[in-house]
Amino acid sequence: MSPTINVQQLSKTYQVPEREGGFGAAVRSFFKRKYKDVKAVQQVDFKIEQGEIVGFLGPNGAGKTTTLKMLSGLLHPTGGKAEVLGFTPWELKPEYLRVMTLVMGQRNRLSWDIPAADSFLLNQAIYRIPDDEYKQTYKELDELLELEPLMKKPVRNLSLGERMKCEIAAGLLHRPKVLFLDEPTIGLDITGQARIREFLREYNKRTGATILLTSHYMADVTALCERIIIIHHGNLKYDGGINDLSRRIAPFKLIGVRLAEPNSHDLSKYGEPVQNEEDAEKQYIQVKAEDVTRVTSKLLADLPVHDITIADPPIEDVIEQAFNQ
Amino acid sequence: MLLIIKRLWQVNWAEQWQYRANLLMYLLYWLVSPIIYLAVWTSIANVKGDVNGFTANDFTTYYMVLLIADQFTSNIVIHTFGYKIQDGSLSGELIRPIHPLLTNGLVNNIAFKALTIMGLLPIWIILFFLYKPDFSGISWTGIALAIPAMILAFFTGYLLSAAITSLAFWTTRVYSIHEFYFALILLFSGQFVPLTLMPQIVQDIAQYLPFQLLIYYPVQLILGKLSSAQIVQGYVMSFIWLGIAWLFFTWVWRNGVKRYSAVGA
């Protein structure tokens, strides 16, 4: 059987207009525009079988969203081929659009000015969902995401997290066979994130749907995906089991230290200093996992430490680091 | 398909109601120029007796009918859709298995019209009592002939505007292009002045352009001012332009979507 998603040599180059600041440049660009080629995705290959949940990772600007947009049909590639369920996505055939979904941040299956319930009913008609199936799916989504209290309010009055829940539900009403999820848990609280994960796992198990998702939350990826694909600067860097990658990147931990006088000591002799905007009063260093105990006790012995935390480095940083080495 | 249209209508109708104040402002803005033309031309005709054979009552009936015909045939697709291509909010609609402009955009425009016509009605009645036009020249036959002509004109106008709106796939300056298109409408549709008062050369050109189908042709049909030959020619032009508009729109759309960059999201 052919794979559900088959991507061969897929490439996308954006032409971005470019000019210097200033009046002269503005006039010149009126007559002759300069363009810069930005290679967002470069000759990427992968295959995903039916029923797989694959995490699609990479630092900001790596080409993840561009790839998802091509696979859902929004973007035409500049090179290569892709087939999803036997369709070429960017032909935008209604038969294809009816069996896949793309959930992207904030946008945009819901009309901003009217209650989500009305948009849901519109989707029911557009995707030709029979009444009983619609009711059943809605019930399941409501149980998991607690939609009912949100349904009657105009979408513009919902919070970010509430809107995200409605967006996801709107994208799943037609029970798609392939799901492209770009940051599906963004804006949700911990419980909300866990619920979405639980739901996706359940949905995948029950329907055998294929899921490709990007997320900044490592928890999403570790909870759901056995396989991950990493791209960086538009190139495929890794395609394989998540455990293998963990072994490759696990050696690092992030130690955060708050000193009696914030930022008063140079910590570079204890480990590699790392920028982290989470807490301005804390200094962060990155150390190898096996050194954590030694470095921590040394820090506590040497310096007036008020607070210390040990954490996994953010996934984006780890990936960036792993592939810049 | 019927259910889709019904639900699209419910959503768009509700949306338009959300913006009723906005819509009223638009209506008042839109009413300004025809009402000024009406006031100016009737005053001139009153002083001079007539303008090239057009009496004050001719102008009054012309503009009173124009107010209604224009509401039926015009569209606002550039305003409701252009920004979606530019800021990427088209994405959500593009991956739905229905055509964004031929379903949602169309229904949205019709909902908008339905509401503005409701808003126009009281204003029209006030104008009627102010100017007391003599509508004795109007016949049911004229109205019956004008209705299909206005429906054809609406679709032609919508497709042309939708095609121009879709140029937003190429350029961020699509609003300037549309302004130019709008200037052509103003000049050749008969909105500025009844076409028969235009120089002969403009009249000759106008009869082959689609713009007069939007206003001049249906207004003259209603007022019963056209010969049988002119009526037939108008209908022939209506169908030809509908075909051209369809080809133009589908070509622009098909090629534009390939360039869509789905920015933002």
pLDDT at A107: 63
pTM reported for the whole predicted model: 0.83
The whole-angstrom distance between A294's CA and the closest CA on chain B is: 45
Among partner residues A69, A126, A154, which is closest to B262 by beta-carbon distance?
A69
pLDDT band at B230 (very low <50, low <70, confident <90, very high): very high
Peptide bond before residue B52 is cis, with ω within 30 degrees of 0: no
Q: What does the H/E/C string look like for chain A?
A: CCCCEEEEEEEEEEEEEECCCCHHHHHHHHHCCEEEEEEEEEEEEEEECCCCEEEEECCCCCCHHHHHHHHHCCCCCCEEEEEECCECHHHCCHHHHCCEEEEECCECCCCCCCEHHHHHHHHHHHCCCCHHHHHHHHHHHHHHHCCHHHCCCEHHHCCHHHHHHHHHHHHHCCCCCEEEEECCCCCCCHHHHHHHHHHHHHHHHHHCCEEEEECCCHHHHHHHCCEEEEEECCEEEEEEEHHHHHHHHCCEEEEEEEECCCCCCCCCCCCEEECCCCCCCCEEEEEEHHHHHHHHHHHHHHCCEEEEEEECCCHHHHHHHHHHC
| The pair of three-digit structure tokens given for residue A60, joined into one six-digit string | 């900001």
* Domain closes at, from A198, A219, A247: A247
Chain A residues in contact with B3 by the CB 8 A cut-off are 125
Q: In this model, does residue B253 exceed pLDDT 90?
A: yes
Same domain (yes/no): A178, A264: no
Distance between CA atoms of A309 and A255, rounded to whole angstroms? Answer: 6
* Domain closes at, from A215, A247, A279: A247
End-to-end alpha carbon distance in chain A: 38
- Per-residue burial over B159-181, b if 16 or more Cβ lie within 10 Å, else e, is bbbbbbbbbbbeeeebbebbeeb
State the Cα torsion B2-B8-B10-B12 to the nearest 10°: -150
CB contact under 8 A, B92 and A73: no
Chain B residues in contact with A108 by the CB 8 A cut-off are 89, 91-93, 265
Same domain (yes/no): A33, A91: yes
The whole-angstrom distance between B118's CA and the closest CA on chain A is: 21
Same domain (yes/no): A22, A89: yes
Same domain (yes/no): A205, A310: no
| The pair of three-digit structure tokens given for residue A272, joined into one six-digit string | 């590699």
Same domain (yes/no): A294, A176: no
Q: Kindly list the averaged pLDDT for each block of 10 residues, start to end, along chain A of length 325.
A: 91 81 73 81 94 89 90 93 96 94 79 88 93 93 88 88 87 93 85 86 91 85 88 87 68 84 83 78 85 90 89 67 60
The whole-angstrom distance between A248's CA and the closest CA on chain B is: 32
Distance between CA atoms of B261 and B265, rounded to whole angstroms? Answer: 10
| The pair of three-digit structure tokens given for residue A49, joined into one six-digit string | 């079988």
Mutation target to probe the B interface, by most B beta carbons within 10 A, among A126, A152, A179, A181 is: A126
CB contact under 8 A, B10 and A121: yes
Residue with token string 């207004």: B219
Same domain (yes/no): A243, A255: no
pLDDT at A319: 63
pLDDT band at B265 (very low <50, low <70, confident <90, very high): very low
Cα A317 to chain centroid distance, Å, stands at: 15
Residue A20's contacts (CB-CB under 8 Å, 6 or more residues apart) are none
Distance between CA atoms of A288 and B118, rounded to whole angstroms? Answer: 72
Bin A91: left if φ > 0, else alpha if -120 < ψ < 50, else beta.
alpha
The CATH number that applies at residue A271 is 3.30.70
pLDDT at A21: 73
Distance between CA atoms of B181 and B215, rounded to whole angstroms? Answer: 15
Backbone angles phi, psi at A20, to 5 degrees: -75, 165
The string of pLDDT tens digits covering residues B137-153 is 898 999 999 999 999 99
Cα A101 to chain centroid distance, Å, stands at: 15
Among partner residues B6, B11, B91, which is closest to A74 by beta-carbon distance?
B91
Distance between CA atoms of B206 and B193, rounded to whole angstroms? Answer: 13
Predicted complex: ipTM over 0.85? no
Q: In this model, does residue B264 exceed pLDDT 60?
A: no
Chain B residues in contact with A94 by the CB 8 A cut-off are 97-98
Same domain (yes/no): A78, A180: yes
Same domain (yes/no): A287, A186: no
The whole-angstrom distance between B109's CA and the closest CA on chain A is: 16
Distances (CA, A) of B132 to A217, B124, B129: 71, 11, 5
Chain B residues in contact with A176 by the CB 8 A cut-off are none
| Average pLDDT rounded to a whole number, residues B172-185 | 91
Helix/strand/coil for B75: coil
CB contact under 8 A, A74 and B11: no
A–B interface: beta-carbon pairs under 8 A: 84
Same domain (yes/no): A231, A281: no
Domain of residue A224 covers: 5-247
B84, closest residue in chain A (CA to CA):
A108
Contact map slice: B 37-76 vs A, CB within 8 A: none
Among partner residues B91, B97, B260, which is closest to A108 by beta-carbon distance?
B91
CB contact under 8 A, A118 and B11: yes
Pairing of strands A305-311, A252-259: antiparallel
**Residue B237 identity (one-letter amino acid):** M
The CATH number that applies at residue A39 is 3.40.50.300
CB contact under 8 A, B7 and A125: yes
Domain count, chain A: 2
| Average pLDDT rounded to a whole number, residues B60-84 | 92
* Domain closes at, from A247, A267, A302: A247
Residue A92's contacts (CB-CB under 8 Å, 6 or more residues apart) are A73, B94, B95, B257
pLDDT at A325: 53
Helix/strand/coil for B54: strand
Same domain (yes/no): A39, A173: yes
Same domain (yes/no): A277, A205: no
Distance between CA atoms of A70 and A35, rounded to whole angstroms? Answer: 22
Q: Is B264 on the interface with A (CB under 8 A)?
A: yes
Contact A74, A152 (CB under 8 A): no
Same domain (yes/no): A299, A315: yes
Residues in A whose CB is inside 8 Å of some CB of B read 14, 69, 72-76, 90, 92, 94-95, 97-98, 100, 102, 104-109, 111, 113-114, 118-119, 121-127, 154
Q: How many C-beta atoms surround the C-beta of residue A294 within 10 A? A: 12
The whole-angstrom distance between B15's CA and the closest CA on chain A is: 6
